[in-house]
Amino acid sequence: MSRYLNPYTDFGFKKLFGEEANKDLLQDFLNQLLPPQHQIAHLEFRTIEQLPDISIERRAFFDIHCLSATGERFVVEMQRTKMEFFKDRALYYVTFPIREQAKKGNWLFCLDPIYFVAILACEYDEAPMRKFRRDVALRDQDGDLFSDKLHFRFLQMPLFTKQAHELVTRFDKWMYFLKYLADFDDIPTILNEPVFNKAFRTAELANLSREQFTVYEKNLLEYRELNSVIDTAHKEGIAEGLAKGLEEGLAKGLEEGLAKGMEKGLVEGEKKGQVQLIMAMHRRGLDVPQIVDFTGIDIEFVRAILQK
């Protein structure tokens, strides 16, 4: 067990950024992602459960949902594993803070700015489009800003590669802190600043109560188990792809056959990984809605797997 908690776990992430006592940490972190006109002076936490307009619609559960004193709204998500249609999920999530701004009576559709911030513990981009950070806004065909009311920030943590001596900005330091927190034995000199000192104190396992530590251990076990399932499925997919590629390559030309076989094998491996992931979460006591909310896998597919 390391000295500090893993921020990629649900408990770890919310301990650092989702508690009233640590709003200043979340505020400082978000301000590194925001333009000057949307800097936060004060934050107010909102409910993380967003109810739909009608009962048959799907609910949304945010990791963190907050509102600044000047009206900016923030949805902050830690995405721990790769899931299908995550970008679509991000679009769906921002519809809730948009719709909750609708006012009765003579409302002129003036909206407050909304930011969706996703910290991704996995890679989504495929080469050669791999980017650690993506800042997305509504722009026209010439790249000019069309609206300043909707923004996305996607941070692919595996693609952050800076080391301590390369850190320049406060944003760099926050990324370094989040990526390597669970590996630190002591506070690095480069992070010896008041805001990070508080973050380290908050994340120190010795400062957790017995009940909190028990919850964290369970979270950490689930996180490691899910990663293990996904890693195994990925390796099996590659192995199957290579085997099929070699077989097809003998008949169709080695290079072309390998490429097609690898693609097919990876797709089958990802599907197998989803099945193993569903079963692992079910064994941990999670029901169908919880599995769907955590993974984003289609609910009918989850039901079909569990029925089998």
Query: What's the whole-number mean pLDDT along residues 106-124?
Result: 87
Virtual torsion, Cα 96, 102, 103, 107, nearest 10 deg: 170
Contact (CB, 8 A) for 175 and 157: yes
How many CB atoms within 10 Å of residue 111? 15
Contact (CB, 8 A) for 48 and 63: yes
Selection from 185, 152, 191, 137 nearest residue 169 by Cα: 191
Query: What's the whole-number mean pLDDT along residues 272-279?
Result: 75
User: pLDDT-based confidence at 117, cuts 50/70/90?
Assistant: very high
Region label for 68, one of left (φ > 0), alpha (ψ between -120 and 50) or beta (otherwise): beta
CA 64 to chain centre: 11
User: pLDDT-based confidence at 69, cuts 50/70/90?
Assistant: confident
Report d(CA 18, CA 26) in Å as an integer.
Answer: 8
What is the maximum alpha-carbon separation in the chain?
A: 71
Across the chain, what does the average pLDDT equal? 81
Which residues, 6+ apart, have CB-to-CB distance to 188 below 8 Å? 164, 176
Report d(CA 241, CA 257) in Å as an integer.
Answer: 10
Q: What are the structure tokens assigned to 22, written together?
A: 């640590």
Give residue 44's identity as a one-letter amino acid code. E
Report d(CA 101, CA 196) in Å as an integer.
Answer: 34
User: pLDDT-based confidence at 164, cuts 50/70/90?
Assistant: very high
Residues forming beta bridges with residue 78, ordered by sequence position: 119
Q: Write down the residue that tokens 């984003």 correspond to.
A: 296
User: pLDDT-based confidence at 101, cuts 50/70/90?
Assistant: confident
Has residue 58 got a pLDDT over 60? no
Query: What's the whole-number mean pLDDT along residues 90-101?
Result: 87
Give the CB-side neighbour count of residue 55, counting CA atoms within 13 A: 0
User: Of all residues in the chain, what percent carry a pLDDT higher than 90?
Assistant: 37
HEC per residue, 55-85: CCCCCEECCEEEEECCCCEEEEEEECCCCCC
Give the CB-side neighbour count of residue 232, counting CA atoms within 13 A: 13
User: pLDDT-based confidence at 301, cuts 50/70/90?
Assistant: confident
Cis amide linkage into residue 128, ω under 30° from 0: yes
154: three-class secondary structure by DSSP = strand
Element (H, E) at 179: helix 170-180
